[in-house]
């Protein structure tokens, strides 16, 4: 039996729909209420967790496979996994965003950047050799500039409607994001056939 951790929310819905489309019986998942661990008739044991916790469960060998956004992978120090498949879902991108005129306003001083993704933000400004102050926010990161906490944000953009609704714009795109299937290295040794079978099915092969 393969043990899988799926990021709750957007990714959960799309991954389960994809599995269903590829022939897996996902009825117990579609009808679940508050259960966090479910076994499907096809022998998948699934848990539903916050994005960072998917990595924790995989790191500790609790699950063999994780479905998680590239954003979560890039913001984590945990690197000891195999990235096996891009699911072509959960597509969005990391960007620096701010009010129009931001560059003129801050060129003479140290910028304050709000983000839920502090490692991504730090890595990005380090690589540009810019010394900035990073301020961690847990969500609704657009509030940073709106309330005057930060000059700009590093956050996920999909349609751009949250930025637009708050008068903000993309200053620079950082990198593309989509949902990845990652695998525990030990699991790949001992459950190779089952894991590759799942990959082939997800790819529709
Ligand atoms: N606007 C978006 N469009 C597409 N994918 C997104 C978007 N926002 C987030 N994602 C992807 O979905 C994953 C989960 O995001 P989601 O918004 O469902 O939960 P969260 O914001 O990380 O946590 P929570 O809302 O539970 O605090 C993210 O890690 C990212 O990969
Ligand atoms: O470009 P858009 O289509 O507007 O999508 C981007 C928004 O989606 C995510 O927020 P989410 O809805 O997950 O809420 P959060 O800010 O509380 O994490 C992200 O943090 C942006 O705020």
Q: What pLDDT, in 10s, does the model give residues 45-57?
A: 999 999 999 999 9
pTM of the full predicted structure?
0.95
- Across the beta sheet with 133-136, the strand order is 133-136, 112-115, 152-157, 92-98, 169-177
- For residue range 3-34, what is the model confidence (pLDDT) as tens digits? 999 999 999 999 999 999 999 999 999 999 99
CATH topology of domain 92-176: D-Maltodextrin-Binding Protein; domain 2 (3.40.190)
pLDDT at 106: 85
Domain ranges for the chain, please list them.
2-90+178-202, 92-176
- For residue range 85-139, what is the model confidence (pLDDT) as tens digits? 999 999 999 999 999 999 888 888 999 999 999 999 999 999 999 999 999 999 9
161 lines ligand 2 (CB under 6 A): yes
127 lines ligand 2 (CB under 6 A): no
- Across the beta sheet with 37-39, the strand order is 37-39, 44-49, 2-7, 65-69, 179-184, 81-86
66 lines ligand 1 (CB under 6 A): no
CATH topology of domain 2-90+178-202: D-Maltodextrin-Binding Protein; domain 2 (3.40.190)
Q: ipTM value of the model?
A: 0.94
């Amino acid at each position: 039996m393969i043990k899988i951790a799926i990021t709750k929310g957007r990714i959960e819905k799309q991954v389960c729909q994809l599995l269903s489309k590829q022939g897996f019986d996902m009825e117990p998942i579609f009808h679940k209420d508050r259960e966090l661990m479910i076994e499907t008739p096809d022998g998948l044991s699934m848990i539903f967790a916050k994005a960072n916790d998917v990595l924790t469960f995989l790191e500790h060998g609790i699950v063999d496979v994780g479905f998680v956004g590239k954003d979560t992978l890039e913001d984590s120090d945990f690197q000891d996994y195999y990235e096996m498949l891009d699911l072509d879902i959960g597509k969005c991108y990391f960007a620096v965003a701010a009010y129009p005129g931001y560059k003129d306003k801050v060129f003479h001083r140290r910028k304050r950047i709000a983000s839920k993704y502090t490692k991504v933000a730090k890595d990005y400004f380090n690589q540009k050799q810019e010394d900035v102050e990073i301020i961690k926010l847990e969500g609704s990161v657009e509030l940073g500039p709106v309330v005057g906490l930060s000059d700009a944000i590093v956050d996920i953009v999909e349609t751009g409607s949250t930025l637009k609704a708050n008068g903000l714009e993309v200053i620079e795109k950082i990198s593309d994001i989509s949902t990845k299937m990652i695998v525990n290295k030990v699991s790949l040794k001992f459950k190779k056939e089952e894991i590759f079978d799942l990959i082939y099915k997800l790819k529709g092969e």
